[in-house]
Amino acid sequence: MKLAARDALSYFAKPDPGKAGVLLYGPDAMRIALRRQEVIEGLIGQQGEEEMRLTRIAGGELRKDKTLLLDAIKEQGFFPGPRVAFVEDATDQISDTVKDALFDWREGDAQIVVTAGQLKATSKLRKLFEGHPSAYAIAIYTDPPSRAEIEATLGKAGVSNISREAMTDIEALARVLDPGDFRQTLDKLALYKMGDPGPVTSEDVQNCAPATTEAEVDDVLNVVAEGLANELGPLMVKLSGQGIDPVALSIFTMRHFRSLHAAASHPNGAAAGIAAARPPIFGPRRDRMTRQASNWGMYKLETALGILTDTDLTLRSASRAPTMAVMERALIRLAMLAQRR
């Protein structure tokens, strides 16, 4: 039986123990692995593997020894409880072996969980599970998770009280992070809010989101974008002491001002432009950059981008000028430009 996306979500939340098995297939190994873990845990519980109620079989091994799967579903374990026979990296070459096991399956046998890569519609393995009356075939796509999937993941992580702004940030994170990182971020968020009855805020999401190198120079970028030229000197000394490369600082600055320019030129206003930015901008940083874009305006930001382009060319040229001094001069010019009305 082939499960549609909505039915698949219900199955992942509560796998049916009365079925013979399930096939999970698709192009993304990480997404398949996460769903497979979810299914197996739903069938045998968190202690199932420790209690030896999970048998792992590689597809290559099953191709060499066709009795492995049938033996695994029929054998009785030392510990009581449901069992799973998991076949990993399956291909059409073992479809006949899996077919024999599926049609010999009886209630009380170990349930069969099979994972595979991308399978064509003509795949023998896929057709086997789609046509079997007591088995499921579920395609795992690389599309970003839906709102329902995100809410299900949040519920599993123990996060329920979420502000509207924080949910918007979480959905943006889901679109740019791979599934493993996204799940870890939500687990981190659950720990971060443990014992805190207040709702999850955008700032909470920002604090738990994966850190980026750009965060190290945010103070400098904000000082420049807000025209606080007198605060720039001490920050530049600190950055130099950390050994940041002037070309890297130039790249970060260009990226920041391009984001501001895109926001300032957005037809629906700076707030809509910042909301549409990729990668997403979170919490207080989002509000701050919205103000910066509004204060600068599109045309002045075009002048700033011209200054940064010239500076980047100088840094990458054969010029003997001290590169950090060149970069600091450009940042001062930008901070002074921000002060003009």
Average pLDDT over residues 147-169: 85
Domain with CATH 1.20.272.10 in the chain: 214-339
User: For 53, phi and psi rounded to 5 degrees?
Assistant: -100, 10
Which pTM was predicted?
Answer: 0.60
25 pLDDT higher than 90 = yes
What's the pLDDT at 215?
47
What's the pLDDT at 196?
87
Number of helices (H), then strands (E), belonging to the chain: the values are 17, 5
108 pLDDT higher than 70 = yes
CA distance 189 to 206: 10
| Higher per-residue confidence, 243 vs 151 | 151
What percent of the chain clears pLDDT 90, i.e. is strictly above it?
52
Q: In which region does residue 266 sit, left (phi positive, over 0), alpha (psi from -120 to 50) or beta (all else)?
A: beta
Q: What's the one-letter identity of residue 105?
A: W
**Among 3.40.50.620, 1.10.10.10, 1.20.1260.10, 1.20.272.10, what is the CATH number of 214-339?**
1.20.272.10
Q: What's the one-letter identity of residue 22?
A: V
Domain with CATH 3.40.50.300 in the chain: 5-139
Please, which pLDDT band fits residue 72 given cuts at 50, 70 and 90? very high
What's the pLDDT at 207?
82
Please tell us whether the domain made up of 5-139 is placed in CATH 3.40.50.300: yes
What's the pLDDT at 216?
60
Q: Does residue 186 contact residue 153 with C-beta atoms inside 8 Å?
A: yes
What's the pLDDT at 242?
73
Question: How do residues 171-209 score in pLDDT, each as one tens digit?
Answer: 878 877 778 888 888 889 999 998 888 999 888 888 888
Average pLDDT over residues 37-48: 93
Please, which pLDDT band fits residue 166 given cuts at 50, 70 and 90? confident
